[in-house]
Structure 1
């Protein structure tokens, strides 16, 4: 069971959006934005895009690229990753981990990193960052590892998560924040390899929690250590919001679910 004060309705959640390199804010302070609304656009003065790369850079100076071409890639313990070009253009320079591409069409639509992750109000724009405020239901976690990620929430049975997929496309968890009953040492790498952006469990053995080495995918615990009974009201709520965009803020041990209204079963408001 969760404590009443563990879940609250917060009228003022603040999210910091990093404006991508080579882009400008498309909004101004005081604006109201919708989820997935374009809030950053390419700076047309130079008609270039800057890409922060990772791992081994594949392209070279003067390479011609098109959407889908691999710019860089890396191998990790869990999976191989690559970053692909979003534009048609020519690589102008490579400075440490930053790839500069002169684009052919400045109107090319870029990826979701230029869009608002949540609906809200633009509070401040400063030094390449946009501060967005919104109301949300906040679930405070007992413990968490990792940083932060935004994704679509799904409640899954841990036994189903540990099953071997029958095909490469089956049970993929791309862009998902996964919530399940009990965690294990084997569950975290399995969920990460399937493309999840976060894993939150009701409970887990403390030694297992201690052994888990968190890499890119944050990991959190709701109730405590051991094999604990889930809060039925909480499970019903998770299932009712499946597919909704949420923010797993592991740095502050919380799950943030944007909402304009406070459900009747949540008694604490801040």
Structure 2
């Protein structure tokens, strides 16, 4: 049974991404199980069957719609999950008013058009929850294809821009670079803040102990000395300057980490 399951999961699957004429919606199917997720109509290939023929057969079985005349063998999206290849041919121009009727029993429970912009691109994307009131996990079979599908539609609507090579000065290229730099920068700032927080925690505790000792020493010295006429008391410590008038050696200066990640004071030698 284990060998058969491994063999079953290694068989390639072929299907279709069916789009409306304006390419704003795609058709998804839901399995017959109680909590089945949504996905594109597809299925495993039979022996001596071509990928295109497999996609036509599976879509016809699951939706009742024949895509043979609309299928273009060179227009498809692929995804490799574990050892299983999934190829979905992109079918354009399917009317939203089409009446779908699955031809298999107890396999497809529901068929529905979904706006492509509302589909999640990763498992933490809340677009579907905000717009469709559905969790991203309901589309885990769709997520691997969403970004590529949106890019394909954009290139289809802007053929001249898609053929033009990306320039280092183009706004799209700069936006992608800037987005990547911002993500790297945010992670670096977080690591730096954590590093300084751990580094300065011990020093800050040492500074508090030093301050307490100086204040205790001032209290004891105040009781044993009398104030001068000019109001200056001998042995008095000035913590704001970090030294005592009677000390022969300059005290340590500490570097404090602020909440916004900046540092106050000079670093210790």
Shorter-chain TM-score range: under 0.3
TM-score (norm 1): 0.21
> Over alpha carbons, which structure has the higher Rg?
2
TM-score w.r.t. the length of structure 2 is 0.21
More strand by share: 1
